[in-house]
Chain A
Amino acid sequence: MSIINTLVRRELSSYFATPVAYVFIVIFLILSAAFTFQLGYFFERGQADLKPFFDFHPWLYLFLIPAVSMRLWAEERHTGSIELLLTLPVTLWQAVIGKFLAAWLFIGVALLLTFPIWITVNYLGDPDNGVIVASYLGSWLMGGGFLAIGSCVSAATRSQVVAFIISICLCLTMLLAGHRLVLDFFAAGLPQWLVDTVASISFLTHFESISKGVVDFRDLLFFGLLIGLFLYATTVVIEMKKAD
């Protein structure tokens, strides 16, 4: 545990030692505010809730989270520090989890810094704060899902740009899995149960059900399993690509 703790602290401090963290947080806050007020008609709707705020999170994450996850392993491979890290008395799992947790906590911090919008909506009206808490939780879980996918892609390449672009494509597929665009692609020639399975892994569906305030065990399990699966895939990919 103390090993993961040490890894998380190093990763987090490295985010803040470079402009990455500040640029990410500022852009995340500006974009989420712009979307909420301009595109989401926060005031015009006249409703005391944060639906227009959370509705844009999947789309913000689509671009911003690959920007965080792309460096997770690609940079280690590019500089060769992966060889140092993985010859220390650290297991591959500890390294993968440590790096993932640091990035996830960082997303959590960015998310918490949106608190002024929560204060605003409470000042203006009388929102259901339970729904808001559930939405924050759902948003953070979805962010973790994106991050785990990005971690796996980042392990496969030493180029951060390649990691960024492939992560966006994969995340978009996961996001829109329930959408006609993706389903039509899979529907041709595949049995119905498989098409239904694809549809059921849609991030949007699971996120929307949590952000309605219904914290269903199955939605939590979905994100938990997804994160675990892609972190496992990360360890497999690292092991495979070590020699390159």
Chain B
Amino acid sequence: MIKIENLTKSYGDLEAVKQVSFNVEPGEVLGFLGPNGAGKSTTMKMIAGFLSPTQGRISVCGHDVESDSMAARKIIGYLPEGAPAYGEMTTAAFLRFIGELRGMSASNLEARITEVVRQLNLSKVLEQPIDTLSKGFKRRVGLAQAILHDPLVLILDEPTDGLDPNQKQEVRSLIQGMSKDKIIIISTHILEEVHAVCNRAIIISGGVVLADATPDELEARSRYHQAVTLVSPGAEDIASKLKGLADVSKVEVEGNQVTAFPKSGKQIFSQISTLITQHAWQVSEVQLERGRLDEVFRTITMKGGRS
């Protein structure tokens, strides 16, 4: 497991990460969310052992990343931001180089290369210099080097950046497939990704952890949580009727779309669907909202930014 205690990183007067503490257990896929410059990458760089913390401690499976750095690095696979690689090397030579530095035996290395090349669909570009590859392939080569030694801990800084929707999906299912016994930390800007792969999310802004919860819990914080949205030509008329319901706190109309918000802790979906049948409203769409992560994200990070 990863233990992070009171982690602080300052650059001169600027504190990029302030007193961050959290633990991550095997089986957890932790999504690291936050605006640009929030301290996500800095935190990940410190866990991976690239930067030294100004204060605080990080231990990875019992190995302190400062004092027992080599042991910690051996069990970590790391994809730095932008997936840097040695551009003049071919994909195959690059993976072999990484494996040799990781001290993998020749036979194990060949077997693992075959495996990650299959997992990430790299067979077409094995003999091509990395500089000549598309952004999506470069990112996948970066991922391949991170998972090459089948590490216990995976730290991926924006693993799906620059991938097309199909490739994003493939990478997400790859991460999910590996998540059973590993600790995975990914940072991302894409909120739908949090739902797709993470079972825990930390929102960080201004170097401070503002929220630490499951994606479902985060969605429950949204004002849209359990709200009902209808699409109908008679939106105004429907809105006035919905306002009469005891459990509805507020109704918003936008064009031909009506959203009714429940009072806290109340369920309004069944009442509304009864009304629809009773009044025979012409409704083309009814939706029970789970909560909008982007709205939660904005609320949390804007509040954190102001304080």
Assess the A89–B70 pair: CB atoms within 8 A: yes
Do the beta carbons of A89 and B51 come within 8 Å of each other? no
Q: Do residues A88 and B51 form an inter-chain contact, with CB atoms below 8 A?
A: no
The residue that A81 contacts in the complex, of B73, B85, B93, with Cβ under 8 A, is B85
A6 B100 Cβ-Cβ under 8 A: yes
- Which residue of B80, B88, B102, B103 contacts A80 across the interface (Cβ within 8 Å)? B80
- How distant is the Cα of A90 from the Cα of B51 in the complex, in angstroms? 15
- Whether A88 lies near B73 (C-beta < 8 A) is yes
Q: Digitize A1-45: 1 where CB-to-B-CB distance is under 8 Å, 0 elsewhere.
A: 011001100100110011000000000000000000000000000
The reply on B98 being an interface residue by CB < 8 A is: yes
Are A83 and B80 within 8 A (Cβ)?
Answer: yes
Shortest distance in angstroms between B272's beta carbon and chain A's nearest beta carbon? 53
CB of B73 within 8 A of CB of A87, answer: yes
A139–chain B nearest beta-carbon distance, Å: 29
Say whether A88 contacts B45, CB under 8 Å. no
Interface residues on chain B, size class: 20 to 34
List A69-125 residues whose CB lies under 8 Å from chain B. 79-81, 83-84, 86-91
A87 to B45, CA, bound (A): 9
| Interface membership of B82, Cβ < 8 A | yes
Docked complex Cα distance between A7 and B89 (Å) = 13
With both beta carbons as reference points, the residue of chain A lying nearest to B75 in the complex is identified as: A89
In the assembled complex, which residues on chain A have CB atoms less than 8 Å from the CB atom of B50?
A: 83, 86-87, 242
Compute how far the CA of A242 lies from the CA of B87 in the bound complex, rounded to whole angstroms: 21
> In the assembled complex, which residues on chain B have CB atoms less than 8 Å from the CB atom of A7?
101
Contact present for B80 and A6 (CB under 8 Å) = no
Contact flags (1/0) for B183-200 with A, using CB distance below 8 Å?
A: 000000000000000000
Q: Which residues on A sit within 8 Å (CB–CB) of B45?
A: 83
Which residues of B have CB within 8 Å of A90? Answer: 101
8 Å CB contacts to A: which residues of B68-90? 70, 73-74, 76, 78, 80-82, 84-89
Decide if B85 touches A91 in the complex (CB within 8 Å). Answer: no
CA distance A87 to B93 in the complex (A): 19
- For residue B39, CB closer than 8 A to chain A, the reply is no
Interface string of B241-271 (1 = CB under 8 A from A): 0000000000000000000000000000000
* A79 vs B131: C-alpha distance when bound (angstroms): 11
Say whether B48 contacts A80, CB under 8 Å: no
Which of A2, A79, A81, A87 is close to B49, meaning CB atoms less than 8 Å apart? A87
User: Which of B74, B86, B98, B103 has most chain A Cβ within 10 Å?
Assistant: B86
Which of A6, A80, A81, A242 is the one whose CB lies under 8 Å from B101?
A6
A83-B45, A88-B73, A89-B73 given as contacts; is B80 within 8 A of A10 (CB)? Answer: no
A21 to chain B, nearest CB (A): 11
Nearest chain B CB to A160 CB, angstrom units: 14
Q: Return chain A residues, CB-CB under 8 Å to B76.
A: 87
Q: Is A181 an interface residue (CB 8 A)?
A: no
Interface contact A14-B80, CB-CB below 8 Å: no
Partner among A13, A18, A79 whose Cβ is within 8 Å of the Cβ of B84? A79
Nearest Cβ in chain B — how far from A186, in angstroms? 33
Instruction: For the complex, give the distance between the alpha carbons of A193 and B81 in Å.
Output: 51
Pair B82/A80 contact, Cβ less than 8 Å: yes
C-alpha spacing A6/B81, complex, angstroms:
25
Cβ of A190 within 8 Å of any chain B Cβ, yes or no, is: no
Among residues of B, the one whose C-beta sits closest to the C-beta of A10 is B97
Residues of B near A79 (CB, < 8 A) are: 84, 87
For residue B42, give the distance in angstroms from its CB to the closest CB of chain A. 8
- Min Cβ gap B82→A in Å is 6
Q: Are A87 and B78 in contact (CB under 8 A)?
A: yes
* Shortest beta-carbon distance from B158 to chain A in Å: 13
A88 to B101, CA, bound (A): 7
- Shortest CB–CB separation between residue B90 and chain A, in angstroms? 9
A81 close to B70 (CB less than 8 A): no
The CA-CA distance from A6 to B50 in the complex, in Å, is 21
B129 interface residue per 8 A CB criterion: yes
A221 at the interface (CB under 8 A from B): no
The reply to whether B101 and A17 form a contact with Cβ atoms under 8 Å apart is: no
Q: Which B residues contact A (CB, under 8 angstroms)? A: 11, 45, 48-51, 70, 73-74, 76, 78, 80-82, 84-89, 93, 97-98, 100-103, 129, 145
19 A-B pairs with C-beta separation under 8 A = A6-B97, A6-B101, A10-B89, A10-B97, A17-B89, A80-B80, A80-B81, A81-B84, A83-B45, A83-B50, A86-B50, A87-B73, A87-B80, A88-B98, A88-B101, A88-B102, A89-B74, A89-B101, A90-B101
